[in-house]
Copies of this chain bind each other. A is one copy, B any other.
Amino acid sequence: MRRSSAETKAVILAAARERFAADGYDKATIRAIAADARIDPAMVMRYFGTKEKLFAAAAEFDLELPELAPDQAGAGLVRHFLRKWEADEGLQVLLRTGVTNEAAAERMRTIFGGQVMPLVIGLTGDPERAPLRASLVASQLLGLALSRYILKFPPMVAATEEELIAWLSPTVQRYLTE
């Protein structure tokens, strides 16, 4: 069975996401990723060039924030974040690697600064405090991901999406607008 190059790239990226998330940036090797994908390491290099570029592709992530009504922004953002986390492995890769790798941490800063801040300014018309508000929102949303999906605190794992939204949305709403 021959695969198209798009299929091959997708297989490599899926293996790279798992490997970077499990091992961190430094420890994950092209060789191990190629073995997971059952592809020759030279082929991985041909498609992605370097480990840095493969990581950038594996951790590519856009929050894709939707339009949010001002009084529903907290609830909407918590719901969107939970679904995004479960649907898109890029954010998982970034959070797991960002803890020990400065390049991944820098991408987190760019994503949350660059994408949540305009939302805050749109909601509040207050550019001065928007950077801090966006970071406070990130602190709660990333703490949610950390405790539910990575450290797996049993009550956070057991909670339904609606329960988490009910508890967290007043927090996020306050950081965004109050």
Binding site for B on A (CB under 8 A): 22-24, 26-27, 95-96, 98-100, 105, 108-109, 112-113, 131-132, 134-136, 138-144, 146-148, 150-156, 159, 167-168, 170-171, 174-175
Contact = CB atoms under 8 A, between A and B. Distances in A.
A164 B71 CA distance: 24
A154 to B, nearest CB: 7
Contacts of A112: 153
A146 B146 contact: yes
A151 B98 contact: yes
Contacts of A146: 99, 139, 142-143, 146
Contacts of A148: 139
Contact of A100 (B96, B134, B174): B96
Nearest to A159: B132
A149 to B, nearest CB: 11
Contact of A26 (B27, B135, B138, B174): B27
Nearest to A23: B100
Given A23-B100, A26-B27, A142-B143, 4 more contacts: A113-B153, A132-B155, A135-B156, A141-B143
Given A135-B156, A142-B146, A151 B23 contact: no
